DNA sequence: TTTGCAACCGACCTTTCGGTCGGTTAAACT
DNA sequence: AGTTTAACCGACCGAAAGGTCGGTTGCAAA
């Protein structure tokens, strides 16, 4: 009947979804409790407070999902093509609602970096990990690219543009502007080839 | 002694600053009241509620400042050079604290677009106005640029990258990553020339 | 079968939020 | 001088937030 780990996972999943949709601060524990059909006591048995719950969501849900998304296209034979396909697929396959929610990592970065140090360092670590992932895979095929490129700089540029583009969707409520930016981003990426 | 308009302006300026630093939701009226050294009654005499205060800050503080920032570099003789100088100046002249606060428009876009329709339409209008401003001025010098460029698409791309780059500063607490992206952005922009 | 403890319950607490409202003050007009 | 009203005051309100804690329940080991 009782399964502590299952309860914990349920809390994490529901919390991840709520935080993704509403942000961390605006997500209320009572809402999470209702969706999980558990009591406040249960939640506080598994997590010492809201902040720790947030950290757990970040580390156990967002971070793995984040890497699982970016890694395959980047470790493809041709990371340039991989990235373009990756971005294009988003334009096509993601629903408008998903798009508007944005990237959980970027959302938390905007909301929590200035407020909470614990979130800030976790987010920063994630961003640096992604940057390394991109830069490494670009340098892996550097002989196919233009000479004298700063791969780390390019990696930050790509990610910035991608995250910035989701901001556009949030106000326009449609994919059009997002698509525009992604199209131009793909042009930019392909242009890196010699 | 009593100057209604001065009180109103004081409220707007302080509110703009607080919202810029903390976001709209996290900004408390009591904090604004304390900084303005006025009572709650005074605030509610000038603004019917918090949301209306937010709208007023957007329209009377953020929007004019936003246009005043972007317009000059874009309407310069060479908008390409104007934009590069504009971005580079930010890297150099802005303090780390300013940088971390980010662009008020983008902050509100991330925070409020999904929550409040009134904010959303104002933000969207602003973004479209900026897009038009950039696209128009690029097409003005189109004979100096590569052929067959989609100016609107490029404009959205530039703004996305710029806004995305401020996200990086928020987690890293320094200008380095921001500088990286801006440098690459300037490369991209200059490359538009034929 | 008993016992111990992790798992869970839910009433209650404090704080803070946006917002209300009856009252007061100062200044402009008659 | 008297009157009116915009400008302002601040005590108070209900709602909702995160968090606490004494109590209950169910399962597993002894």
Query: Any CB–CB contact under 8 A between A100 and chain B?
Result: yes
Longest dimension (CA), chain A: 62
Q: Which two tokens stand for residue A112?
A: 């929590």
Residue–nucleotide distance: B68 CA to D5 C1' (Å): 39
Q: How far apart are CA A161 and CA A127, in angstroms?
A: 14
Q: Give CA–CA dist B91/A84, Å, rounded.
A: 29
> For residue range B116-129, what is the model confidence (pLDDT) as tens digits?
999 999 999 999 99
| Distance, CA of A54 to CA of A115 (rounded, Å) | 13
This prediction has a pTM of 0.95
What's chain A's average pLDDT?
97
Q: Give strand pairing partners of A164.
A: none
Per-residue b or e along B60-72, where b marks 16 or more CB atoms closer than 10 Å to that residue's CB: ebbbeebeeebee
Judge whether residue A28 contacts strand C, using its CB and a 7 Å cut-off: no
pLDDT digits (tens, 9 = 90+) for A45-86: 999 999 999 999 999 999 999 999 999 999 999 999 999 999
3-state secondary structure of A2: coil
Nearest nucleotide to B30, CA against C1' atoms: C17
Which long-range contacts (C-beta less than 8 Å, at least 24 apart) are formed by A120-124? A120/B170, A120/B171, A120/B173, A122/A55, A122/A58, A122/A59, A122/A63, A123/A58, A123/B171, A124/B171, A124/B172
Question: Does the pLDDT at position B68 exceed 70?
Answer: yes
């Amino acid at each position: 009947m009782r399964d502590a780990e299952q309860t914990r996972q349920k809390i994490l999943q529901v919390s991840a979804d709520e935080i993704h949709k509403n942000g961390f601060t605006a997500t209320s524990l009572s809402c999470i409790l209702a969706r999980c059909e558990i009591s406040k006591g249960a939640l506080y048995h598994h997590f010492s407070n809201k902040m720790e719950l947030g950290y757990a969501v970040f580390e156990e849900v967002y971070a793995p999902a984040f890497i699982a998304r970016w890694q395959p296209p980047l470790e493809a034979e041709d990371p340039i093509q991989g990235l373009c396909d990756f971005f294009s697929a988003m334009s096509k396959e993601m629903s408008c609602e998903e798009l508007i929610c944005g990237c959980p990592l970027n959302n938390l970065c905007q909301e929590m970096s200035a407020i909470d140090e614990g979130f800030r360092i976790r987010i920063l670590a994630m961003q640096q990990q992604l940057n390394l992932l991109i830069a490494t895979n670009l340098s892996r095929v550097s002989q196919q690219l233009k000479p004298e490129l700063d791969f780390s700089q390019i990696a930050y540029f790509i990610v910035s543009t991608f995250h910035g583009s989701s901001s556009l969707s949030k106000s326009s409520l449609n994919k059009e502007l997002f698509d525009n930016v992604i199209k131009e981003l793909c042009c930019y990426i392909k242009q890196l080839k010699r």
